Amino acid sequence: MNILLLIITIVLAYILGSIPTAVWAGRIFHGIDVREHGSGNAGAANAIRVLGWKTGVPVLLIDMIKGWTAAMLPVFFGLAQHDTALATNLQIMTGLIAIIGHIFPVFAGFRGGKGVATMFGVLLALHPYLTLTCFGVFLIVFLITGIVSVSSMSAGIAFPILLFTVFETPSLLFKLFSIFVAIALLITHRNNIKRLLKGEEKKFFGKKQKKTKEE
């Protein structure tokens, strides 16, 4: 394996993840820092909530594309043959780096979002059928509850369960990664969990609230 090319791939993955889509969109099209409104983070959900659908949906799509592209870099650069355990392992690595870049973006003072949309893009590159099934879980829970955080956590928990019981992968690391995804989503949503237990978590289409640390 070309070590120099691997290093370049890792750096590119972080740079891709660090593109602060919501922050830049808010400043360019609305003259505001999205992190100073709504939930206070630079994620796609907050962008839709604060900036509206016309700006927020493109932010969501770009954040997903960031993750997908970062996870596909090892394949694009020929570091491993597609659909092999090695390729999957390298894709997990670059995907994780992109997610870290989204959460701690170098281009936005290391204050980013929770990485859900970027993670979705990464998972879509790794296992599209499984990911789309989890997206179905997200939609069903969202339609029932109207709460983004509950929907995200439900989809995250469903991910390793479905992988171990329904789908297959040649990579042991991917199985471990699926567990990490579920745990990471629970950790990043710990404030949401506290509000859920108190009955204070707001629905996505509820009335506009002052800045809180919700999803």
Q: Please check whether residues 144 and 160 belong to one and the same domain.
A: yes
The answer to whether residue 212 is domain-embedded is no
- The count of other CB atoms within 10 Å of the CB of residue 58 is 16
Question: Do residues 205 and 50 lie in contact, with contact meaning Cβ atoms separated by under 8 Å?
Answer: no
pLDDT band at 206 (very low <50, low <70, confident <90, very high): low
Q: Distance between CA 131 and CA 162 in Å, rounded?
A: 10
Higher pLDDT, 172 or 11: 11
Among candidates 64, 182, 169, 161, which has minimal Cα distance to 126? 169
Q: Please check whether residues 114 and 143 belong to one and the same domain.
A: no
What average pLDDT score do residues 116-141 get?
93
Q: Please check whether residues 118 and 190 belong to one and the same domain.
A: no
pLDDT digits over 5-43, tens only?
999 999 999 999 999 999 999 999 999 999 999 878 898
Q: Which domain holds residue 185?
A: 129-205
Look at residue 213 and tell me whether its pLDDT is greater than 60: no
Q: Please check whether residues 4 and 107 belong to one and the same domain.
A: yes
Q: Please check whether residues 11 and 114 belong to one and the same domain.
A: yes
Q: Please check whether residues 98 and 58 belong to one and the same domain.
A: yes
* Per-residue pLDDT, 85: 84
Per-residue tokens: 214 = 């919700």
Q: Please check whether residues 31 and 113 belong to one and the same domain.
A: yes
* Per-residue pLDDT, 207: 53
For the chain, how many structural domains are there in total? 2
User: Taking the mean position of all CA atoms in its chain, how far away is CA 211?
Assistant: 22
Q: Please check whether residues 78 and 160 belong to one and the same domain.
A: no
> Which amino acid type is present at position 164?
F
Q: Distance between CA 188 and CA 143 in Å, rounded?
A: 22
End-to-end CA distance of the chain: 40
The phi and psi torsions of 112 (rounded to 5 degrees) equal -115, -150
The answer to whether residue 147 is domain-embedded is yes
The answer to whether residue 214 is domain-embedded is no
Q: Distance between CA 165 and CA 146 in Å, rounded?
A: 28
Q: Which of 93, 108, 126 is the last residue of a domain?
A: 126
Q: Which of 126, 141, 163 is the last residue of a domain?
A: 126
Q: Please check whether residues 87 and 172 belong to one and the same domain.
A: no
Q: Which residue has the tokens 């997200």?
A: 138
* Per-residue pLDDT, 67: 97
Q: Please check whether residues 115 and 27 belong to one and the same domain.
A: yes
Q: Which of 126, 144, 163 is the last residue of a domain?
A: 126
* Per-residue pLDDT, 2: 86
pLDDT digits over 83-127, tens only?
788 889 999 999 999 999 999 999 999 999 988 899 999 999 999
Q: Please check whether residues 179 and 193 belong to one and the same domain.
A: yes
Helix, strand, coil percent values for the chain (each to nearest 5): 75, 0, 25
Q: Please check whether residues 62 and 120 belong to one and the same domain.
A: yes
Look at residue 204 and tell me whether its pLDDT is greater than 80: no
Q: Which residues lie closer than 8 Å to 80 by C-beta, 6 or more apart?
A: 1, 74, 86, 87, 90
pLDDT digits over 48-76, tens only?
989 999 999 999 999 999 999 999 999 99
Torsion of CA 74, 77, 83, 87, to 10 degrees: -30
The answer to whether residue 174 is domain-embedded is yes
